[in-house]
Chain A
Amino acid sequence: SQRMLKQTLFNLLKKTLAKPGVKNIVLVEGVRTPFLLSGTTYADLMPHDLARAALQGLLHKTSLPKDAVDYIIYGTVIQEVKTSNVAREASLGAGFSDKIPSHTVTMACISSNVAMTTGVGLITAGQCDTIVAGGVEFMSDVPIRHSRKMRKTMLALNRAKTLGQRLSLIGSIRMAHLTPELPAVAEFSTAETMGHSADRLAAAFGVTRLEQDEFALRSHTLAKQAQDAGLLSDVISFKVPGRDTVAKDNGIRPSSMEQLAKLKPAFIKPHGTVTAANSSFLTDGASAVLIMSEEKALAMGYKPKAYLRDFVFVSQDPKDQLLLGPAYGTPKVLARAGLTMDDIDVFEFHEAFAGQIMANLKALDSDWFAQTYMGRKVKVGAPAMEKFNLWGGSLSLGHPFGATGCRLVTTVAHRLLKEGGQYGLVAACAAGGQGHAMVIEAYPQ
């Protein structure tokens, strides 16, 4: 038919997504520290140390002059209170010029996506030409606070004028004051933990335990293959002070279906389907990318890896649709770019939970869901698995919340280069019921 012919022609021509009057923005390079299970080799560091390592790795890999950057933006989720603007501390510590302003952004698991798109915005607006964006997460140490009661007493002690006042305040301290307050893993608005929500999501879409375990095994197997084949070239090696040099992710553990089946559900007991093995694990790690206007990159003699094209942020009900960001973001960003699912050669979706990925794929493949919840006439369809997360994903490589977005974008660029594809799609979900999707186009080689 005519439509098919058109489609074939379009594929043959592989036209660029450049838009008239809009600057081309390119990804020059992307790096990350090895992603490690929290509590392992990075245990004694601070978050900005990891971010520093990523920044230094980027400098090293690109030979970028330390004063050639206009702005540095970092994403993070659980903030270390001493370095609340971790972007600034890390860029100073990495030896960047102190004349480069830096700020930190947060949007749960898509924080570094926000860092990157903020950079894109600054370039598009003509404010900057060269941006370093990145993300960092450090779960080996998290801010554990005194209880609110204790904090109140301590603050009152600060203001107490007389010894009597001080003594009476100290005397008011009870056992209950000493109970510490851990950072909540639960959604603030619903008080539900993410794993619990993921289990419900999987159940809502009828995702079985078997499907989840199979997907988890796939992720680990593909990650191991990629690691062994040396495809994970974004990983830099990092000499950890007082420890060995780390050069590899340490969470990749291909197991067997039998082993996976033995695990008990981690959140909904006893009939839940989400287990420790089919969920992403707590991870330490940092990433960094160099984003420039195409003109500037070329002027500085760089060979860009990819164009960063259309992107969308989406958000929905944080209770029942907490992790459906990719399902909502994908059709939207495709529409913006004028592409269909078939046009995409490389998919990189953030794997928070195997059940969450499967649910998103089922949502994308459902006309009913598209019509009932997305106001679309038809579904866009699910991505072809032979194009999907082929080098592993968050389940196996690890998921340092704030750093994952840059890993996804860099991986798409690298896979497009390696596989010879034209378009890539990144999609991710995030706490708060939010999500992100971005189209990336290969840079003509």
Chain B
Amino acid sequence: MFSYISCRTFSVAPAMSARTHVNYEVKEDVAVIRMNDPTSKVNTLSVQMQNEMIEVFNEVLANDAVQSAVLISSKPGCFIAGADINMIQACNTSEEVTKLSQEGQKMFARIEKSPKPIVAAINGPCLGGGLEFAIACQYRVATKSKKTVLGTPEVMLGLLPGAGGTQRLPKMVGIPGAFDMMLTGRNIRADKAKKMGLVHQLVDPLGPGLKSPEERTIEYLEEVAIQCAKGIVNKKISLTKEKGMMQKVQDYVMGIEFVRQQIYKTVTAKVMKMSKGLYPAPLKIIESVKAGLEQGPDSGYLAEAQNFGKLAMTSESNALIGLYHGQVACKKNRFGVPERPVKNLAILGAGLMGAGIAQVTVDKGIHTVLKDTTVEGLSRGQQQVYKGLNDKTKKKTITSFERDFTLASLTGQLDYSGFEKADMVIEAVFEDLNIKHRVIKEVEAVIPPHCIFATNTSALPIKDIAAASIRPEKVIGMHYFSPVDKMQLLEIITTDKTSKDTTASAVAVGLKQGKVIIVVGDGPGFYTTRCLAPMLAEAVRLLQEGVDPKKLDALTTGFGFPVGAATLADEVGIDVAAHVAEDLGKAFGSRFGGGNVEVLKTMVEKGFKGRKSGKGCYVYTPGLKSKDVNPDIEDVLEKYKLTPNPLVSSDSDVQYRLVSRFVNEAVMCLQEGILNGPVEGDIGAVFGLGFPPCLGGPFRFVDTFGANKLVEKMRRYEEVYGNHFTPCQLLLDHAKDSSKRFHK
């Protein structure tokens, strides 16, 4: 099977090997195979890594002094983070990708059938291809470190586990467990992985000793893994698991074809409901699992490889991978290291936003002051922070002690005491320019000269707020999204006067808070709110034209938005939407028209402010998940009723009327320099506004859909509605020249 194998015993002489990624050393009769990609912080299954791995594996098999092997990473905190995405992206046809998958399958099949048992010793992320590698090994030992997570995140990139994962996982963790892992792509912590049967043994992370904790923990893991490898060889450890009663029953049930068919059906229905059929990957995962279980491993592996090839060529996968790269880019601080790190942060206003910001700050080693003007407001905010942490305690992600310890970094107060120590103040008070001016003056009287003043606003131009400041270079906008602890995006807005260090500092704080960050220029509505406003205006027009809120929601979610337009308006708040529509309407003129602002205003007058008031487009009953359309808005809509034009009112037209206005505005933001680039534009739209991830963001959408086709549609709508649909110059440029693309 192997052409030539050099006869080397013990440790590989470095001179003989030009290997840089994989090496091994023989300890007694155990080969310790160590991976370390010297070019990256994480290990990936790159071509280089795979080639060297095969080489080493061949040597280990041929080495008579070796009885067993341990596979370990010498990188502290990373086993294998996954396959190398660039390897897939470098392929031009699905056949090429299928071949990649088959090579991977072949390599892992050899690992699985290895006559010398291989123990995977896992510390840090073991994801995607890394997990597939590990589950091909005979035994798995993992550290209980918080960094150790196992999972198959391929689905989030529009792909599937293409190196045997769809075939091995169902056998290892059961069909339901495997579907759960592969369809959600979620990370599984080591202790859970042990319970699921994904790993055999756990190793505790160590503290200070005679070496650094990280170094010694890996060494310890290796020692334990070597013991396991020896134990397997001398039969002290059995590889056939003693099955419990529950396991036997489950196996029996899963052995019934009818039951399996029911599972496929249920899972498919669930996927269709969640994805609206817009994401091909989950369906292909189900298909591949099914092929393996129903038609045998040959069909299964073939289906997996072919489906992997097909998925890699889909626009959805392309979009999701683009978002992944974008997200990585938006997790970096391109403004450099700030002069002084923010250690004391004060937040003004303990409302939903203020408390939310406190929630994501207080557990990051930053002392956080939460200030409000009333005891009631403050205690509501403090309770929100407590609840956020306590929920984590209930889910056992932190201990009650860690909760209390974290809360010790939060100070609630009604006055400005201690503000002389603040490094940054984030105000999250009511969206009113006069109030913001009053606050900025009050704060500037008490803070030290280096302190940054960040304003959390969703629409007010930062330069207008900064007008009241005596130190505008320290003023910056930090636009968080609600709920702050769930929404990943942070939009940072700089004015002409904002200093680079101020920006660097704001980005550093945002990154600490775990945010994906876009930094945009100042202007009414900045980037995100500005894109959303025309779409909401169109939504209001559609309501006026008689499209029922439920229908409107169905059409938007059917396009891939996670939240329907009507529901989104309720979530944002009808009053906020009215406010924004009016403000931006004034700033941008008739282009931002469409629906009548009076519709929103009338709703607000009637108390229909959205979810927070219990009524908006819908009626919200506490404790009930389902919601009915608010019957009282019919009168309002009747009053402002418009007659729809049948030429532009098909379901598809409704969708494109909403989306094209959004996209056009996004492109205009790039044209005007509000945006730094299309990557940030896509990230902002997807992570902040829920633009369909399968489309990858407005810019990728234009690339994929074709600017000319979009312009064509807009011209058609323009004829009916006028300048609301006039394409911007940059979009026209792209329509004219099909070689122009936002993403290369």
A: residues with CB less than 8 A from B are 188-191, 196, 199-201, 203-206, 268, 270-271, 317, 319-321, 359, 362-363, 366, 368-369, 372-373
Contacts and interface: CB of A to CB of B under 8 A. Distances in A.
Interface stretch (B209-217, B521-529, B622-630): B209-217
B216 A271 contact: no
Given A204-B209, A372-B208, 8 more contacts: A200-B206, A204-B207, A204-B208, A205-B210, A317-B207, A320-B208, A369-B208, A372-B212
Interface string B69-108: 0000000000000000000000000000000000000000
Contacts of B258: none
A268 B207 contact: no
Instruction: Report the contact-size class of chain B (Cβ under 8 Å from the partner).
Output: 10 to 19
Contacts of B220: 203-204
Nearest to B401: A189
A115 B313 CA distance: 75
Contacts of B211: 368
B213 A320 contact: yes
B204 A190 contact: no
Given A189-B401, A191-B399, A271-B227, A320 B203 contact: no
A318 to B, nearest CB: 9
A320 B206 contact: yes
29 contacts: A188-B401, A189-B405, A191-B401, A196-B204, A199-B204, A200-B206, A200-B207, A201-B209, A203-B204, A204-B206, A204-B207, A204-B208, A204-B213, A205-B210, A206-B209, A206-B210, A268-B204, A271-B224, A319-B207, A320-B207, A320-B208, A320-B213, A362-B209, A363-B209, A366-B210, A368-B211, A369-B210, A372-B208, A373-B208
A203 B405 CA distance: 28
Interface in B199-236: 201, 203-204, 206-213, 216, 220, 224, 227
Contacts of B208: 204, 320-321, 369, 372-373
A317 B216 CA distance: 18
Interface of B: 201, 203-204, 206-213, 216, 220, 224, 227, 399, 401, 405
Given A203-B220, A271-B224, A271-B227, A190 B209 contact: no
Contacts of B210: 204-206, 362-363, 366, 368-369
A190 B405 CA distance: 11
Contact of B203 (A196, A271, A363): A271
B228 to A, nearest CB: 8
A389 to B, nearest CB: 22
Contacts of B209: 201, 203-206, 359, 362-363, 369
A321 B401 contact: no
Contacts of B399: 189-191
B401 A201 contact: no
Contacts, number: 61
B201 A271 contact: yes
A321 B224 CA distance: 22
A271 B230 CA distance: 13
A258 B711 CA distance: 85
Contacts of A372: 208, 212
Contacts of A369: 208-210
A178 to B, nearest CB: 23
Contacts of A271: 201, 203, 224, 227
A263 B360 CA distance: 47
Contacts of B227: 271
B401 A203 contact: no
A148 to B, nearest CB: 13
Contacts of A317: 207
A188 B399 CA distance: 10
Nearest to B141: A271
A204 B223 CA distance: 12
Nearest to B225: A271
Nearest to B224: A271
Contact of A201 (B203, B207, B224): B207
| A-B interface, 8 closest residue pairs, ranked by CB to CB distance from nearest | A320-B207, A204-B209, A204-B206, A189-B401, A205-B209, A271-B224, A200-B204, A203-B220
Nearest to B405: A189
A413 B413 CA distance: 55
Contacts of A362: 209-210
A401 B503 CA distance: 56
Nearest to A199: B204
Nearest to A372: B208
A203 B206 contact: yes
A191 B201 CA distance: 21
Contacts of B212: 372
A369 to B, nearest CB: 6
A317 B213 CA distance: 13
Contacts of A359: 209
A373 B212 CA distance: 10
A178 B257 CA distance: 45
Nearest to A359: B209
Contacts of B216: 203-204, 206
Most buried by A among B206, B209, B211, B227: B209
A373 B210 CA distance: 10
A373 B224 CA distance: 26
Nearest to B220: A203
Nearest to A207: B209
B335 to A, nearest CB: 33
B325 to A, nearest CB: 37
B236 to A, nearest CB: 10
B3 to A, nearest CB: 40
Contacts of A191: 399, 401
Contacts of B203: 271
A217 to B, nearest CB: 23
Contacts of B204: 196, 199-200, 203, 268
Contacts of B405: 189
Nearest to B212: A372
A372 B212 CA distance: 9
A268 B144 CA distance: 12
Contacts of B224: 271
Contacts of A189: 399, 401, 405
Q: Which of B203, B204, B213, B227 has the most CB of A within 10 A?
A: B204
B70 to A, nearest CB: 14
B680 to A, nearest CB: 40
A320 B405 CA distance: 17
Nearest to A271: B224
Nearest to A365: B210
B9 to A, nearest CB: 27
A372 B216 CA distance: 15
Nearest to B231: A270
A362 B216 CA distance: 15
Nearest to A316: B208
A48 B169 CA distance: 60
A206 B401 CA distance: 29
B36 to A, nearest CB: 23
A271 B223 CA distance: 10
A272 to B, nearest CB: 9
A420 B322 CA distance: 78
Contact of A190 (B201, B206, B213, B401): B401
A190 B213 CA distance: 18
A361 to B, nearest CB: 12
B96 to A, nearest CB: 44
A196 B216 CA distance: 17
Interface centre among B203, B206, B207, B401 (most CB of A within 10 A): B207
Contacts of A200: 204, 206-207
B139 to A, nearest CB: 13
B441 to A, nearest CB: 44
B152 to A, nearest CB: 28
Nearest to A196: B204
A372 to B, nearest CB: 7
B394 to A, nearest CB: 15
A308 to B, nearest CB: 31
Nearest to A201: B207
B118 to A, nearest CB: 18
